[in-house]
Amino acid sequence: MLSTAKTGIQPEGTGMVQQGLEGVVAASSAICFIDGLRGRMLYRGYDIHDLAVHSTFEETAWLLWHGALPGPGRLAELKERLIAGRTLRDEVLDLLRTIPHATAPMDVLRSAVSCLSAYDPDVANHSREANLRKAVRLTAQLPTVTAAWHRIVNRRDVIDPNPELGHAANFLYMLDGALPDPAHGKAFDTALILHADHELNASTFAARVTAATLSDMHSAVTSAIGTLKGPLHGGANKDVMDMLHEIGEISSAETYVREKLAAKEKIPGFGHRVYKTEDPRATRLRRLSKELGRKSGDLKWYEMSRVIEKTMMDRKGIACNVDFYSGSVYATMGIPAGLFTPVFACSRIAGWTAHLLEQYADNRIIRPVGEYTGPTEASYVPMESRPA
Ligand code: COA
């Protein structure tokens, strides 16, 4: 029999558990603020709309890591370090080439981060300076892994990073070897800014839990990638694109949504634990989806998305989230749907690592208690007395 005296915790349910930890404050953080009622979101005090218009991903990453906007010298230095960090060692590329092509890209990314730790010069150094260097390197490396994997599964040569290009444009370049349309480079940069952090989302929380045991940054990022993969989190952006393809025609969108809702199925890209109104990232991505659609002369995905959005609002009163329009934005700039969630990771790595630096700076192991709901009076039954 279990002893309650040992733990001091009552075995009977206390009724205090908030399923999914909804509304539970689990950490203090000065990185990202979300006002879910007003649809407001800030990185280090700066409104996401201002950053989307005026900043770059590189500058935003610095802001998340350091808590202030960089001056020109520091930003230039960061860009140089990101460019230097982009190139993968042959051993890492060789590992990617041995992975079966049917492997999910997020599984590849997770394995690659584990592998990258083995070659990281700071792997055993857990100082803040070393962790900052690791944060920059991981941010530089994830897009290269993602693009290299895309090339490998398509049986094409891996394209070396282009040091002349910024972080966003270089990723698009590494996918197909052509210099990207500047409008696509800018739109992708904005999308990276919008996805860079989001308070205690599930993957960031997973990363912080791992780091709080004083495990290393690569292990924490590996936890985060495994968590982001799920369809209730980052995996939803690929599901949105799959849904748009399944619907096929704009005229079928409303019926599709009605039928899914009638069958009690969820529509990917809708709903949010924190936002009770429109997700401000979705507001910007909707605009981008329309602009890029117009530019390409094909507004089909945008218009289909609008019908889905209207139907969801009419039927369920639920607004779309960051994953809904990011799908059509990425598709219009030629990013294959299978890479959407790794692309999310390429952006969120800035936020994950910022949270890890914050966790390490003021750490205590994260170890909540569970509410035990199992039996307490079970007596051991010898094998010969148990039913077959
Ligand atoms: N489609 C249809 N109904 C949805 C919905 C969706 N995408 N999201 C939430 N709902 C409904 C639920 O069915 C539930 O209705 P009910 O109370 O009548 O049963 C209610 O809204 C609350 O949803 P719940 O799943 O309990 O909310 P949550 O806070 O636990 O989960 C999400 C939040 C984001 C996981 C959830 O909205 C979801 O699964 N969305 C789809 C996946 C997605 O887009 N994820 C990316 C998030 S950025």
- The yes-or-no verdict on residue 56 having pLDDT over 70 is yes
**310 pLDDT above the threshold of 70:** yes
* Pocket probe mutation, ligand 1, options 19, 24, 232, 305, max atoms within 8 Å of Cβ: 232
Q: What is the separation of C-alpha 323 from the centre of its chain, rounded to a whole number of angstroms?
A: 10
- Residue pair 346/234 in contact (Cβ under 8 Å)? The answer is no
Angle at 252 between CA 246 and CA 256, to 5 degrees: 65
DSSP 196: S
The pLDDT value recorded for residue 12 is 52
Q: pLDDT at position 7, please?
A: 41
At 270 the pLDDT is 96
Print burial letters for 229-251: b (CB count within 10 Å at least 16), e (below 16): beeebbbbbbbbbebbeebeebe
Confidence category of residue 1, pLDDT binned at 50, 70, 90: very low
For ligand 1, atom 46, name the residue with the nearest CA: 233
CA of 277 to the centre of ligand 1 (A): 13
Q: Which amino acid is at 246?
A: E
Task: With a cut of 70, say whether residue 100 has pLDDT above it.
Answer: yes
* Pocket of ligand 1 contains residue 272 by CB under 6 Å: yes
Q: How confident is the model at residue 300 (pLDDT cuts 50, 70, 90)?
A: very high
Ligand 1 in reach of 269 Cβ (< 6 A)? yes
CB 181 within 8 A of CB 137: no
Look up residue 193 and give its two tokens.
Answer: 């800014």
Q: Tell me, using a 6 A CB cutoff, whether residue 236 lines ligand 1.
A: yes
Structure confidence at residue 4 (pLDDT): 35
* DSSP per-residue codes, 36-102: TTTTEEEETTEEHHHHHHH--HHHHHHHHHHSSPPPHHHHHHHHHHHHHH-SPPHHHHHHHHHS-TT
Distance CA 346, CA 384 (A): 56
Higher-pLDDT residue of 8 and 242 is 242
Indicate whether residue 316 lines ligand 1 (CB < 6 A). yes
Q: Which of 21, 198, 240, 266 to mutate to test the pocket of ligand 1 (most atoms within 8 A of CB)?
A: 266
**pLDDT tens digits for range 196-232:** 999 999 999 999 999 999 999 999 999 999 999 999 9
Alpha helices in the chain (DSSP H): 4-7, 48-54, 57-66, 72-85, 90-98, 105-119, 128-153, 167-176, 182-195, 202-211, 217-228, 236-247, 253-262, 280-296, 300-316, 322-332, 340-361
Catalytic residue IDs: 233, 272, 323
Largest CA distance in the chain: 76
Q: How far apart are CA 301 and CA 345, in angstroms?
A: 23
Average pLDDT of the chain?
A: 95
Q: What does each C-alpha distance from 160 to 80, 86, 113, 148, 150 come to in angstroms?
A: 16, 9, 19, 9, 13
Q: Count the Cβ atoms, other than its own, within 10 Å of residue 370.
A: 7
Q: Which residue has the higher pLDDT, 360 or 3?
A: 360
pLDDT band at 352 (very low <50, low <70, confident <90, very high): very high
Instruction: Give dist(CA 63, CA 188) in Å, integer.
Output: 19
Number of neighbouring beta carbons within 10 Å of residue 35: 14
User: How much is the average pLDDT of 81-91?
Assistant: 98
pLDDT number for residue 16: 76
Give, to the nearest 10 degrees, the angle between helix 182-195 and helix 280-296.
Answer: 170
pTM: 0.94
Q: Please give the average per-residue pLDDT across 357-384, as a whole number.
A: 97
Which residues, at least 6 apart from 293, have a Cβ–Cβ distance to it below 8 Å?
299, 300, 301, 302, 303, 328, 332
The packing angle between helices 300-316 and 236-247, to 10°, is 100
Q: What is the mean pLDDT of residues 58-85?
A: 98
What's the CA gap between 208 and 219, in Å, rounded? 11
pLDDT at residue number 14:
56
Pocket test for ligand 1, best of 194, 229, 270, 326 (most atoms within 8 A of CB): 270
Query: Considering only CA atoms, which of 36, 40, 43 is closest in space to residue 59?
Result: 43
